[in-house]
Amino acid sequence: MNKLKKYFFYLIIFASFHLHGQDLHFSQYFNAPLLVNPANTGFNPDFDYRVGGNYRNQWASLSNTPYKTMSIWADAQLFNNRFENSWIGIGAAFLNDVAGSGNLTATKGFASIAYHQVLGLNSLISAGFNVGFTQKRIDLNKLTFNSQWNGKFFETSLPSNEPFQYSSVDYFTVQAGINFAQFVNDNLYLNGGVSISNINRPRESFFAEGKNDNRLEMRYTTFANASIKIQDLWIINPNVYFSKIGTANEWVVGMMAQRDLSSSHNGSLQFLAGAYYRANDALIPMVGFNIKNTKFTFNYDATISNLNVYNQSRGAYEISIVKNGLYSSGDKNIKCPSVRF
């Protein structure tokens, strides 16, 4: 790695110490629903359960140790046959992220629960919360600092003169959210939600107490989706996502289209393609297939920010797999309409 790339990575590492609670996230946020909003837990009217996995690799052109984020998650519906117009959703997720030369590692697991209530004939409101445990650690021996620069190279035997107190920290977090869905007709569905994470504002710092304000900021996340069915062959899904923590924020907007390729037009084989835009960061083309209720999706983040000078516009790639299923082979009692093939 040349000196310019090395300095860039030091900047990223030190920024990670001071960013207040930037949670792990994916471009395919809609394929990691429990991470976005705990009210999404069990919010899957056509199916009884789903299991998913996500993998993201970014900034590989800048280092031999690129940022890697992966997750597995699952949720399910309970008491669907016991309650007339409602059900309970339960779920859990595990995430792991490894970043940069110091192997800054974040590991997070949480359990979530949500309540879903049908309103009238065509609306649904959901509320949920989760409790999570996070551990972050870093290998300080793999980092170098300004005080170790001798004019020609970094001399690691010199003291760093940095006020590090810990190489590992852990804490609990609480997140809560609500969703609302409106099934306008057989061909149009609208959905939106808002959530707040880090409600308990835990402390996170590798430095001794009093060196900086190390309480995590609360993170506010909102999203809006639509499903529009066209001539029994296409379903169009425009959506938007916004998240804010402290002074940092993220906008993602775009659209996915699903094309029914099955001979009987029952949705057993679908082709997916779309494109998204992350404000001031990346263009995100996406492609995938849905085969017998198992969805495979791939996207590539093409950097359009100033960072493209360093990574030749190669930002990240991401893969997700989501499996939807039923407890039995019989017909499911669907309590609210859905837009599907």
pLDDT tens, residue by residue, 156-167 = 777 776 767 777
Q: Which residue type sits at 337?
A: P
pTM score: 0.86
Average model confidence (pLDDT) across the chain: 86
By three-state DSSP, how is residue 312 classified? Answer: coil
Alpha carbons 145 and 128: distance in angstroms, whole number: 44
Nearest to 33 by CA among 175, 217, 152, 214: 175
pLDDT in tens, 164-177: 777 789 999 999 99
pLDDT in tens, 247-256: 999 999 999 9
Alpha carbons 86 and 305: distance in angstroms, whole number: 45
Is residue 312 classed exposed, middle or buried when 0-12, 13-18 and 19+ CB atoms within 10 A define those classes?
exposed
pLDDT at residue 10 is higher than 50 = no
Alpha carbons 150 and 42: distance in angstroms, whole number: 57
Could you tell me which residue, 15 or 187, shows the higher pLDDT? 187
The two three-digit tokens of residue 337, written as one number: 């309409």
Chain centre to alpha carbon of residue 115: 21
> Does the domain at residues 3-325 carry the CATH identifier 2.40.160.40?
yes
By three-state DSSP, how is residue 186 classified? Answer: coil
Chain centre to alpha carbon of residue 77: 21
The rounded radius of gyration (Å) of the Cα atoms in the chain is: 22
Distances (CA, A) of 42 to 33, 74, 76, 126: 10, 9, 5, 10
Distances (CA, A) of 118 to 17, 44, 122, 286: 44, 13, 8, 33
User: Where does the chain have alpha helices with state H?
Assistant: 3-18, 33-36, 308-311
Can you tell me which residue has the tokens 């039995």? 328
> Please, which residues have CB within 8 angstroms of residue 60's CB and are 6 or more apart in sequence?
66, 314
